[in-house]
A and B are shown apart, each in its own frame.
Chain A
């Protein structure tokens, strides 16, 4: 293990921000670093800390050679501070300052808004690592374990990226916020994470895959929006983070896909055609499709909540000031100011769900959520193709946006997955068919047995079609330290 007290930052932290000559930020990072390492060490079980994991490390921002794969112990992972290359003459893409040169320093008038956005984004990164801390113990394969830890270290690196911005641009307030990022903790009664979805448990691997598919996709949309920021350092940071985020969603999509594959393969092998013959299917050691649908319902709806209120002053302010754009802002053909534009927002009026035109500026969250819904549908379609190919008659569906919501206009009504408004009693009665029950959870939990043998996979999940870094599925992705 390297000497943590005398870290050589220029080599230990790959960076393209000139850290070694930036005394102010260096000092702050030095102060913060031990707390971060403590947080990490307290979090991840010891035998995994000491294991050698085949991880990719970001070493540059060159799109061709930004990663390097090698065995590394997680605490020695090189948490880099990497920003996408600066685009010459970049302009603020939206809002009242659209067209002006992007800011290289924090504009005083937007200081608190900008800081809040960075803190909220930063808070989610360690949050998910905390939620996933015990999953290594029940990993269905070394391949999956490696993916889990890859996601974890990259979330850790994303925290670093946000902390760097706080240190570099927000002075004492930024340092305090950075400390609080380590003080808050997922599910903690003392100081919970800021957003609800990051205080939910990730109790099993199917949850992890759903989380990385649906919830990390919210992260992707937020990063996409922040990548449009007129505050250039934030934009550059987020652009680079997006390259890593793509892997997380890959883990989610293929993880759910492989779970489905194992299920339909087992059904076909046993000659079961009815996907609702749940007990029989479960007895094969796989997760039945209706339960996968319930998990999808849960994680999808928790993720929709992360977009906040449909109509939001904060979102309007962020867009108008040019510090957060829309998804693919530069490809949208309008004036990028939205002063007179409208956008349709679903809302509940007199007991019915109706669409209402509201000023587009205030509907920025809604628009991003709509983009998310489209983006999330892709993988679900590919999962359905797997099922169709197997001949099993079943289709996964994305539930109605009003179903099972805690935030926004739908939080006050009980909506079923098809979009019908029910009484709360009816909804509660039927919710066991829509959301995972304790019994479903217990069953999934019963399958969560570690499978640490090289090249072997747990019964409920199929091997990957191709491995990581073009390595085969039976590559030793983790050299377990079983002291």
Chain B
């Protein structure tokens, strides 16, 4: 699987989904083209999906928010009259490397979380209308919706057949959403998750697996009626006009570097390192939200978020051997603050809200990236407000102290804003500063008192905002030694260690989903019972059952 995976797409390129916009309601149809898999060697039968299918879904969800703010309810349904969705394609999984499987699951999970949160974040409620078999990843698509309707045709069912069929676990939060979101009783969940055929009809409702079961002849009508009801009950303003998410301006260099307008990715393969540099704004902030809306996707704060998001996804899937991701910024901190302030001051404007919520998601994606993350606060940098979140998303941050010889850039400083104290929570529902200062909550208050101040090295260090401040004498060596040491460690151990240390504090459904994915699913994905030559995943479709080592670990 050495194809370069492109996360950018647009409706003219979709092969697997289509959307019919009908005022406040959008009908989203999954109709997978079985011959348009991302890789060779499998067909996407029965509306099964691979990463390519999910990239389109992710694009749709994103465009729904930015291009179609008039939509209040999205109805996810199948364009195939026999099956809703058979889940992730098993032959694709059987043929994929472990790395691809893990990254695939991570990305699909992020997509699920994104539309699941669309109701709270963007007042776009997702209804899932299930007709036909809805199994495994298919039911997980449904589970992430805000409301599930199932037709009662004595045939359509919902199922999580991974354990009996494939010897793995549902990979996109299925088990966790069954217990934590749907609050299915554990013994019923145990039955549900160990039968291939799933649960249909009234029992699916009784067991809380779906919200509503409707007679087949009235199903389509009931779904559209429910969609209208939800849309009418929505508090979201009506008749909003969106902006177009124009194609990213992106070029790839021969050495693997990637250039966007405000984000640069440099690759140093010998050192196993990618450096991501964000450039500050090249102009004043728009005068008001109307002006920003006219700028659309060119508006700085949105543009950077899209570019950074794409860069992270690209590095995750296409540059799997880089151990270190280094975040840098360069630019006018005051301008960054001005651009950000427009959003923070207009949070009731749909576009300001969407851009801020998008930043929340991008930062979560950074949190979830299994590489050593490092932030370098250099002279001339602009780690301000939302950009400063990168300092605490990182595993470590280093800041320049005092003047450096021959360096006449403005003195390195960190500036806090309201963004750092609420609107950008992590998966654990705490801000990055709250998570950072779990043992010293006063430190958050102290930092908050410094909003708007340009905090130079000593002050930042005093407040605990950076890991280490280094002067001209130590900077280069300290950082070089750290990079070299880090790149020499076992990547597996690092992934585990970093994930453990990043998500301190309370568990949420989101942290549990990712935690269990990393711990259990990834473990099972490595075990011979699933992926060995005689394992269930390898043998799926051959008719021969998996052979298991019966020892319980």
Chain A residues with a Cβ under 8 A of chain B: 96, 112-113, 115-116, 180, 183-184, 189-192, 194, 313, 315-317, 319-321, 339, 359, 361-362, 364
> B155, A317: Cβ atoms under 8 Å?
no
Interface segment among B251-259, B355-363, B501-509, B539-547: the answer is: B539-547
The complex places the Cα of A371 from the Cα of B195 at a distance, in Å, of 33
Closest 6 A/B residue pairs (Cβ): A316-B543, A361-B543, A320-B543, A191-B154, A189-B217, A313-B541
Given contacts A184-B154, A191-B154, A192-B153, contact A317 B543 (CB under 8 A): yes
Q: Which residues of B contact A116 (CB under 8 A)?
A: 197
| Mask of B165-207 contacts with A, CB within 8 angstroms, 1/0 | 0000000000000000000000000000001110000000000
Say if the beta carbon of B237 comes within 8 Å of chain A.
no
> B155, A194: Cβ atoms under 8 Å?
yes
Q: What distance in Å separates the Cβ of A174 from its nearest Cβ neighbour in chain B?
A: 12
Q: What distance in Å separates the Cβ of A117 from its nearest Cβ neighbour in chain B?
A: 12
Q: Which residue of A lies closest to B544 (CB)?
A: A320
A-B contact pairs, 18 of them (CB 8 A): A112-B197, A115-B197, A116-B197, A183-B154, A189-B216, A190-B216, A190-B217, A191-B153, A194-B155, A313-B542, A313-B543, A316-B543, A317-B543, A319-B543, A321-B545, A359-B542, A361-B543, A361-B544
Q: Which residue of A lies closest to B196 (CB)?
A: A112
Q: Which residue of A lies closest to B161 (CB)?
A: A112
Q: Which residue of B lies closest to A110 (CB)?
A: B545
Q: Which residues of A contact B545 (CB under 8 A)?
A: 96, 317, 320-321
Q: Which of A191, A317, A319, A361 has the most CB of B within 10 A?
A: A191
Chain B residues with a Cβ under 8 A of chain A: 152-155, 164, 195-197, 215-217, 540-545
The complex places the Cα of A192 from the Cα of B151 at a distance, in Å, of 12
Q: Which residues of A contact B216 (CB under 8 A)?
A: 189-191
Q: Which of A180, A362, A364 contacts B541 (CB 8 A)?
A: A362
Q: Which residue of B lies closest to A113 (CB)?
A: B196
Q: Which residue of B lies closest to A339 (CB)?
A: B544
The complex places the Cα of A113 from the Cα of B545 at a distance, in Å, of 13
Q: Which of B153, B154, B215 has the most CB of A within 10 A?
A: B154
Q: Which residues of B contact A96 (CB under 8 A)?
A: 544-545
Q: Which residue of B lies closest to A189 (CB)?
A: B217
A interface secondary structure, majority: helix
The complex places the Cα of A463 from the Cα of B139 at a distance, in Å, of 57
Q: Which residues of B contact A320 (CB under 8 A)?
A: 543-545
Q: What distance in Å separates the Cβ of A299 from its nearest Cβ neighbour in chain B?
A: 22
Q: Which residues of A contact B215 (CB under 8 A)?
A: 190
Q: Which residues of B contact A317 (CB under 8 A)?
A: 543, 545
Q: Which residues of B contact A184 (CB under 8 A)?
A: 154-155
The complex places the Cα of A339 from the Cα of B152 at a distance, in Å, of 40
Q: Which residue of A lies closest to B200 (CB)?
A: A180
The complex places the Cα of A189 from the Cα of B151 at a distance, in Å, of 11
A-B contact count (CB 8 A): 53
The complex places the Cα of A366 from the Cα of B215 at a distance, in Å, of 36
Q: Which residues of A contact B197 (CB under 8 A)?
A: 112, 115-116
Q: Which residues of B contact A315 (CB under 8 A)?
A: 543
Q: Which residue of B lies closest to A361 (CB)?
A: B543
Q: What distance in Å separates the Cβ of A96 from its nearest Cβ neighbour in chain B?
A: 7
The complex places the Cα of A183 from the Cα of B545 at a distance, in Å, of 34
Q: What distance in Å separates the Cβ of A206 from its nearest Cβ neighbour in chain B?
A: 29
Q: Which residue of B lies closest to A319 (CB)?
A: B543
Q: Which residues of A contact B154 (CB under 8 A)?
A: 180, 183-184, 191
Q: What distance in Å separates the Cβ of A275 from its nearest Cβ neighbour in chain B?
A: 39
Q: Which residues of B contact A313 (CB under 8 A)?
A: 540-543
Q: What distance in Å separates the Cβ of A72 from its nearest Cβ neighbour in chain B?
A: 32
> B155, A361: Cβ atoms under 8 Å?
no
Q: Which residues of A contact B153 (CB under 8 A)?
A: 190-192
The complex places the Cα of A173 from the Cα of B174 at a distance, in Å, of 24
Q: What distance in Å separates the Cβ of B155 from its nearest Cβ neighbour in chain A?
A: 6
Q: Which residues of A contact B196 (CB under 8 A)?
A: 112-113
The complex places the Cα of A214 from the Cα of B181 at a distance, in Å, of 50
Q: Which of A189, A194, A362 contacts B543 (CB 8 A)?
A: A362
Q: Which residue of B lies closest to A196 (CB)?
A: B82
The complex places the Cα of A453 from the Cα of B324 at a distance, in Å, of 92
The complex places the Cα of A320 from the Cα of B196 at a distance, in Å, of 17
Q: What distance in Å separates the Cβ of A277 from its nearest Cβ neighbour in chain B?
A: 42
The complex places the Cα of A313 from the Cα of B135 at a distance, in Å, of 16
The complex places the Cα of A143 from the Cα of B197 at a distance, in Å, of 44
The complex places the Cα of A315 from the Cα of B164 at a distance, in Å, of 17
> A191, B155: Cβ atoms under 8 Å?
yes
Known: A184-B155, A361-B544. 14 other contacts (CB 8 A): A96-B544, A96-B545, A112-B164, A115-B197, A116-B197, A184-B154, A189-B217, A190-B217, A194-B155, A313-B540, A313-B541, A313-B543, A316-B544, A361-B543
Given contacts A184-B154, A194-B155, contact A361 B195 (CB under 8 A): no
The complex places the Cα of A316 from the Cα of B543 at a distance, in Å, of 4
Q: Which residues of B contact A364 (CB under 8 A)?
A: 543
Given contacts A191-B153, A191-B155, A194-B155, contact A316 B541 (CB under 8 A): yes
Q: Which residue of B lies closest to A318 (CB)?
A: B543
Q: Which residues of B contact A115 (CB under 8 A)?
A: 197
Q: Which residues of B contact A316 (CB under 8 A)?
A: 541-544
The complex places the Cα of A180 from the Cα of B215 at a distance, in Å, of 14
Q: Which of A112, A183, A321, A364 has the most CB of B within 10 A?
A: A112
Q: Which residue of A lies closest to B543 (CB)?
A: A316
Q: Which residues of A contact B155 (CB under 8 A)?
A: 184, 191-192, 194
Q: What distance in Å separates the Cβ of A236 from its nearest Cβ neighbour in chain B?
A: 25
The complex places the Cα of A299 from the Cα of B319 at a distance, in Å, of 55
